[in-house]
């Protein structure tokens, strides 16, 4: 484990999380959330949790995002906050 790489990714993750909940466009928020998940999965892989990382890559960054997008396409893209 390389702690400074960890820290760097963690900071990125935090900024992604902040962005995901502040962006007004829901589609962008969802995509940013996908990026967040992917960074998270990198972090976990780097901590030795390969299975969790694999799952998060397929679920968090993959299926979740797709489901979010599918739902947003059927509802509305805009968000007031």
Partner 1 sequence: MKLLQERTEKQKFGESLIIQTAVRMMVPFIQLFGLYVIVHGHYSPGGGFQGGVILGASFVLLALAFDLRTSVRYMSERVNNTLGNVGVLIYTGVAVLCALFGGLFLDYSALDAIIPLGPIAWRSFGIFLVEVGVGLAVMSIMVSLFWDLGSGGEMDEGL
Partner 2 sequence: MEQFLAIIIAKYNYWLYVVLMMIGFYAMIGKRNLVKKLIGMNIFQTAIILMFVSAGAKYGAKIPILNKHEVLEHGVRAAQVVNPLPHVLMLTAIVVSVSVTGVALAILQRIYREYGTLEEDEILEKLGR
CB of 74 to partner 2, least distance (A): 6
**DSSP notation for 20-61:** HHH-S-HHHHHHHHHHHHHHHHHHHHHHT-HHHHHHHHHIII
Residue with tokens 């390969």: 50
Interaction site with partner 2 (CB under 8 A): 1, 3, 6-7, 10-11, 13-14, 17-18, 20-21, 26, 29-30, 33, 36-37, 40, 43-44, 47-52, 55-56, 59-60, 63-64, 67-68, 70-72, 74-76, 79-81
> From partner 1, partner 2, none, which one binds at residue 30 (CB under 5 to 8 Å depending on kind)?
partner 2
The span from the first CA to the last CA of the chain, in angstroms, equals 38
């Amino acid at each position: 484990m390389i702690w400074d790489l960890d820290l760097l990714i963690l900071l990125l993750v935090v900024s992604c999380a902040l962005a995901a909940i502040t962006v007004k466009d829901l589609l962008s928020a969802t995509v940013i959330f996908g990026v967040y998940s992917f960074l998270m999965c990198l972090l976990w892989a780097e901590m030795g949790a390969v299975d969790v990382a694999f799952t998060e890559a397929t679920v968090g960054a993959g299926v979740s995002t797709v489901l979010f997008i599918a739902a947003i396409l059927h509802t509305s893209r805009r968000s007031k906050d």
